Amino acid sequence: MSDSAIVIAELTTPVEDAPARATAAANWLLDQQIIQPQARPDPLWRPSRYAPGPAATTAVRDTHDGNGPVGDGIDILDRRQVHDPGGNYSPPACPTCTTQLDEDTHITLVQHWLDHTEPLATCQNCTASALRGDWTGPWAIHVASIAVHFHNWPPLGDAFLLGLFEHLGPRCRLIQRRI
C-alpha cells in the first residue's frame, strides 16, 4: 500500500501574500478543529506540523467508517513550487473538449510556469486556448505559492472544500497525489 495525499493548490496567490494566506487558512482549520498542532512532532515518524483535529471527520465525505484516525498529518506550504500527483500523473484535459494535452507539451508548459508566469495552452483538437491551470484533471501538475496537503485522508467533503477555498483564494485546484 502506498501513501497518498489530497493536495489543494491555489494558483493565483502572489509569493509575497502566501505566508499571510497560509496563516489565515491554518487559523481557520484550527478554529474549526479540523487540524491541531502535532502533539509529538518527529522528522521521520510525524513530520507534519499539524495532525487531524477532534472535528476532522466533519471535513471528509461520509466514506470514513469512524474507526481509527481520519488521516495522517497536514502540511500548509507557503512557497512557490510544483505540486504534482506523484505516481498518478496524467496530462490534463482541455476545458472545452476534454482532449488530453500531449505529455511533452504539458511538461514544457509547467517548466515555463515555474520559471515565469502561467502560460496559455492550446488544444490540438479544438484549438481552444486557456490558462494551463484551467485544464482539468486530478492527476495534473500545478504551480502554486500556497497549498494544503492532507496526507492519507479519505475524500474531502464538498462543503468543507468550499470553506477551505474561501480561505485560500479563487483558483483552487485539487490534486490526488500518490507517493
d(CA 11, CA 134): 10
User: What predicted TM-score, i.e. pTM, was given to this entire model?
Assistant: 0.92
Query: pLDDT tens-digit profile of 29-42?
Result: 999 999 999 988 77
What is the pLDDT, as a whole number, of residue 63?
Answer: 63
Distances (CA, A) of 8 to 39, 41, 48, 65, 138: 24, 23, 16, 23, 10
Averaged pLDDT for residues 137-163: 94
**Grid coordinates representing 89?**
500523473
Sheet strands (E) in 57-171: 74-77, 81-83, 120-122, 129-131, 142-144, 146-151
